A and B are shown apart, each in its own frame.
Chain A
Amino acid sequence: MIERLGYRIEPRSETTARGRTLAVGVALAASLVLCALLFLAVGVSPFAAFQSLAQGAFGTWRAATETLVKATPLIFTGLATAIAFRARLWNIGAEGQVFAGAMFAYWCQSALAGSSAWIQLPVIIIGAMVGGGLYAGLAAILKTRFRVDEVISTVMLNYIIVFALSLLLLKGPWSEAGGFFEQTAKVDPGSILPILFDKTRLHLGFLLALIAAAFVYLMIRKSPVGFEIRAAGSNLRALEVQGTNSRRVILMVMLISGALAGLAGMSEVYGVHYRLKAGAITSYGYTGIIVAILGLLNPWGVVIAAILFGALVNGATFMQIKTGVPSALIYAIEAILLLFYLAGWAASSFKLKRIKP
């Protein structure tokens, strides 16, 4: 059609930073409009809804810190996804790796209950990284040794580990003595992540998440590992020709990615809920994928996107109380935001080329 007018759509050789930022802006605006339409559809004034959303997210000091509490696991899972996607490894498994991290941390820590916090805290942090890393490493080995596509294997592993946790919790070795729900007993006080400010729930996990972001930033920018990750993302073959073992790179990226996701599970269990249950650690993995993409796969972008999403989650609860709009709305909005962003970004990577004089 366009070709009859003497033009052709061609890909740009490189997308510009301006184009990407513009795409994020357009996506935000378009999602806002669609969101307003959804509010109208359920018979609520968009103005009142947005106001209560913002108020719930940032209205008070406590609300603002609560937004950061909600952002914390998303920073971890966003970083986990960003680092894998940078290497063009489609790790969809942050969801399961969050579970694995939480479970492994709990397994190690429960053996040490009663000991000093100086022992228990390092154990849960390292345990979470090992657990998440191993679970992601399984997908890496399936990919490199058995040629199982990582998208499929990580999704399947996400489903499998939910059943594994349920097996351990429901009348299993981890279930709370005399408890009715599918959850563990409260964890030992010595293993709880310290609260950063009085009268808030903001815990050490948020600080760890920022440290993780700085670590990922430095690793990608300054270390040879980061070079390999970036190179794997652009051309894995070239990396092999140059003498790098691509299997090693894939395994390494997945281990780091899984370790970061595992920390999200630890931080929710030991920073917010103080017990292990599926409801405490569900859905952060999938939301982390959106966070990573909207954060332009950049560590600091991930932090910003995670805080935005934390604000949405936190504000939505308040909005539901104030206006009666179901808070589940934000899950739809997040996906719409992602779709608009992808479309906008793709469109910004095209150019019109004149093919006829």
Chain B
Amino acid sequence: MIADLLETSIIISVLAATVRIATPILLAALGEMIAERSGVYNMGLEGTMLMGAFTAYIGAYYTGSLWLGVVIAMITGGLMSLIFAFMVITLKVEQIVTGLALNLLGSGLSIFWLRAAFANAGQTPTTPFFDTVPLPLLSDIPFLGPILFDQKILTYVAFLLVPATWYFLFRTRYGLELRCVGENPKALDIKGLNVAARQYAAVVFGGLMAGLGGAFLTVGSAARFVPEMTNGRGWLAIVIVIAGLWRPVPVLLATLVFSFLDALQLQIQGIGVAIPYQLLLAMPYVCAILALAIRRSHSGAPAMLGIPYWRR
């Protein structure tokens, strides 16, 4: 049965699934990368994604429009991260503790709201979900076509964000300033540039992306909301940013490794190889710890990551 895994059609389906599964994690990780570049650790990513997933679902359900659901999810993600930004940038509360509070808020609020909205329904209703949009010509390329170019729009958006964030960080003045905020905020402050405003913007961008990533989980694939459905994806995104050394392309590679594990797991279960599924499901989390334990370089982290900036 292991040999079945080597058939071309299976390989294509695993790799296409990898790209699909990567989408929400990649969106959240790229957003978190931008936030961390400004020196702020958004540990509330899990809860932000979860609220994004929930509001996209409930938004699409009530408005009947998938895209409105996506917009609502992004707004929710932005608002969650605005709370976070206010707490850690303005009030300078411990970033880890604030992040935890946001995670608990996301999990509590989404379950409560779900129960309140569908108290009388035996089962939560489903919404429609996005179809794949094969790109003309490109999707006809053998092998690569069905893997890369027969995906959903949000997937294309996520992958295009890799060069976009790279260009922003390393080729624009705003990107340079943002990196400077994470490395040496005082220098920027002395030049008369607003440190807090840049951090707010970076954190809120991270929240918008986490909301979008969350939306992909519901209106992008599952069509319904299940409590705690992010299942650690927000935390994996944080691990990916660290493993990806705060750079867009390595972040993409790290995301693909984790998603590949997940896709492989689905495929192995699908063809009924006799490995307990719990072992396969635990694999990404075990690999996350291993990835952090065996990484050689500990550089790359913004110097002021996690340290609030005080003007004195």
Could you tell me which A residues sit within 8 Å of B by CB distance? 11, 38, 42, 90, 92, 142, 146-149, 151-153, 155-157, 159-160, 163-164, 166-167, 170, 286, 289-290, 293, 324-326, 328-336, 338-339, 342-343, 345-347
Q: Write out the residue numbers on chain B whose beta carbons fall within 8 Å of the beta carbon of A153.
A: 289, 292
- Taking a contact as CB atoms closer than 8 A, the residue among A157, A163, A332, A343 that contacts B91 in the complex is A343
- Asked whether, in the complex, the Cβ of B112 is within 8 Å of the Cβ of A338, the reply is no
- Taking a contact as CB atoms closer than 8 A, the residue among A160, A336, A339 that contacts B282 in the complex is A160
- Nearest CB in chain B to that of A41: its residue: B116
Q: Write out the residue numbers on chain B whose beta carbons fall within 8 Å of the beta carbon of A331.
A: 104, 107-108, 111-112
What are 27 A-B residue pairs whose CB atoms fall within 8 Å in the complex? Answer: A38-B112, A146-B294, A147-B298, A152-B235, A152-B292, A155-B232, A155-B235, A156-B239, A156-B288, A159-B231, A159-B285, A160-B286, A164-B278, A289-B104, A326-B119, A328-B108, A328-B115, A330-B108, A331-B111, A331-B112, A332-B105, A332-B109, A332-B112, A333-B108, A335-B104, A339-B98, A339-B105
A313 CB, nearest partner CB in chain B, Å: 12
Rounded to whole angstroms, the CA-CA distance of A196 and B276 in the bound complex is 42
- Asked whether, in the complex, the Cβ of A342 is within 8 Å of the Cβ of B242, the reply is no
- Asked whether, in the complex, the Cβ of B91 is within 8 Å of the Cβ of A151, the reply is no
Tell me whether A346 and B87 are in contact in the complex, defined as CB-CB below 8 angstroms, given that A155-B235, A336-B105 are known contacts: yes
B195 on the interface (CB 8 Å rule)?
no
What's the tally of chain B residues with a CB closer than 8 Å to chain A?
Answer: 44
Taking each of B94, B232, B278, which has the highest tally of chain A beta carbons within 10 Å of its own beta carbon?
Answer: B278
A146 CB, nearest partner CB in chain B, Å: 4
Tell me whether A339 and B83 are in contact in the complex, defined as CB-CB below 8 angstroms, given that A152-B238, A332-B105 are known contacts: yes
Q: Write out the residue numbers on chain A whose beta carbons fall within 8 Å of the beta carbon of B109.
A: 332, 335
Could you tell me which B residues sit within 8 Å of A by CB distance? 43, 83, 87, 91-94, 96-98, 100-102, 104-105, 107-109, 111-112, 114-116, 119, 231-232, 235, 238-239, 242, 276, 278-279, 281-282, 285-286, 288-289, 292-294, 298, 310
Tell me whether A163 and B112 are in contact in the complex, defined as CB-CB below 8 angstroms, given that A149-B292, A156-B289, A335-B101 are known contacts: no
Q: Write out the residue numbers on chain A whose beta carbons fall within 8 Å of the beta carbon of B285.
A: 156-157, 159-160
- Asked whether, in the complex, the Cβ of A290 is within 8 Å of the Cβ of B104, the reply is yes
- Taking a contact as CB atoms closer than 8 A, the residue among A146, A325, A333, A342 that contacts B98 in the complex is A342
Closest 8 CB pairs of A and B: A331-B108, A326-B115, A332-B108, A335-B105, A335-B104, A346-B91, A146-B293, A163-B278
- Asked whether, in the complex, the Cβ of B104 is within 8 Å of the Cβ of A334, the reply is yes
Rounded to whole angstroms, the CA-CA distance of A160 and B81 in the bound complex is 28
Rounded to whole angstroms, the CA-CA distance of A345 and B93 in the bound complex is 9
- Asked whether, in the complex, the Cβ of A343 is within 8 Å of the Cβ of B298, the reply is no
- Taking a contact as CB atoms closer than 8 A, the residue among B98, B232, B278, B293 that contacts A167 in the complex is B278
Majority-rule SS of B interface residues:
helix
B28 CB, nearest partner CB in chain A, Å: 15
Q: Write out the residue numbers on chain B whose beta carbons fall within 8 Å of the beta carbon of A339.
A: 83, 87, 98, 101-102, 105
- Asked whether, in the complex, the Cβ of A148 is within 8 Å of the Cβ of B111, the reply is no
Known: A92-B96, A326-B116, A343-B91. 7 other contacts (CB 8 A): A38-B112, A164-B282, A332-B105, A336-B105, A343-B93, A346-B91, A346-B92
Q: Write out the residue numbers on chain B whose beta carbons fall within 8 Å of the beta carbon of A293.
A: 97
Rounded to whole angstroms, the CA-CA distance of A157 and B235 in the bound complex is 12
- Asked whether, in the complex, the Cβ of B289 is within 8 Å of the Cβ of A338, the reply is no
Q: Write out the residue numbers on chain B whose beta carbons fall within 8 Å of the beta carbon of A156.
A: 232, 235, 239, 285-286, 288-289
- Nearest CB in chain A to that of B286: its residue: A160
Rounded to whole angstroms, the CA-CA distance of A42 and B117 in the bound complex is 9
A5 CB, nearest partner CB in chain B, Å: 16
- Nearest CB in chain A to that of B291: its residue: A148
- Nearest CB in chain A to that of B116: its residue: A42
- Asked whether, in the complex, the Cβ of A335 is within 8 Å of the Cβ of B298, the reply is no
Q: Write out the residue numbers on chain A whose beta carbons fall within 8 Å of the beta carbon of B281.
A: 163
Rounded to whole angstroms, the CA-CA distance of A146 and B310 in the bound complex is 31
Q: Write out the residue numbers on chain B whose beta carbons fall within 8 Å of the beta carbon of A336.
A: 105
- Nearest CB in chain A to that of B232: its residue: A159
Tell me whether A334 and B108 are in contact in the complex, defined as CB-CB below 8 angstroms, given that A167-B276, A342-B87, A343-B91 are known contacts: yes
- Taking a contact as CB atoms closer than 8 A, the residue among A152, A163, A290 that contacts B279 in the complex is A163
Q: Write out the residue numbers on chain A whose beta carbons fall within 8 Å of the beta carbon of B116.
A: 42, 325-326
- Asked whether, in the complex, the Cβ of A152 is within 8 Å of the Cβ of B97, the reply is no
Tell me whether A142 and B288 are in contact in the complex, defined as CB-CB below 8 angstroms, given that A42-B116, A164-B282 are known contacts: no
B115 CB, nearest partner CB in chain A, Å: 4
B277 CB, nearest partner CB in chain A, Å: 9
- Asked whether, in the complex, the Cβ of A289 is within 8 Å of the Cβ of B100, the reply is yes
Q: Write out the residue numbers on chain A whose beta carbons fall within 8 Å of the beta carbon of B104.
A: 286, 289-290, 331, 334-335, 338
Q: Write out the residue numbers on chain B whose beta carbons fall within 8 Å of the beta carbon of A38.
A: 112
- Asked whether, in the complex, the Cβ of A166 is within 8 Å of the Cβ of B278, the reply is yes
Rounded to whole angstroms, the CA-CA distance of A167 and B279 in the bound complex is 8
Q: Write out the residue numbers on chain A whose beta carbons fall within 8 Å of the beta carbon of B276.
A: 167
- Asked whether, in the complex, the Cβ of A92 is within 8 Å of the Cβ of B288, the reply is no
Taking each of A155, A159, A347, which has the highest tally of chain B beta carbons within 10 Å of its own beta carbon?
Answer: A155
Q: Write out the residue numbers on chain A whose beta carbons fall within 8 Å of the beta carbon of B100.
A: 92, 286, 289, 338
- Nearest CB in chain A to that of B99: its residue: A151
Taking each of B83, B112, B119, B292, which has the highest tally of chain A beta carbons within 10 Å of its own beta carbon?
Answer: B112
Rounded to whole angstroms, the CA-CA distance of A290 and B298 in the bound complex is 31
- Asked whether, in the complex, the Cβ of B288 is within 8 Å of the Cβ of A347, the reply is no
Q: Write out the residue numbers on chain B whose beta carbons fall within 8 Å of the beta carbon of A90.
A: 96
Q: Write out the residue numbers on chain A whose beta carbons fall within 8 Å of the beta carbon of B98.
A: 339, 342
Q: Write out the residue numbers on chain A whose beta carbons fall within 8 Å of the beta carbon of B96.
A: 90, 92, 151
Rounded to whole angstroms, the CA-CA distance of A334 and B289 in the bound complex is 30
Rounded to whole angstroms, the CA-CA distance of A324 and B116 in the bound complex is 9
Q: Write out the residue numbers on chain A whose beta carbons fall within 8 Å of the beta carbon of B282.
A: 159-160, 163-164
Q: Write out the residue numbers on chain B whose beta carbons fall within 8 Å of the beta carbon of A345.
A: 93
A255 CB, nearest partner CB in chain B, Å: 19
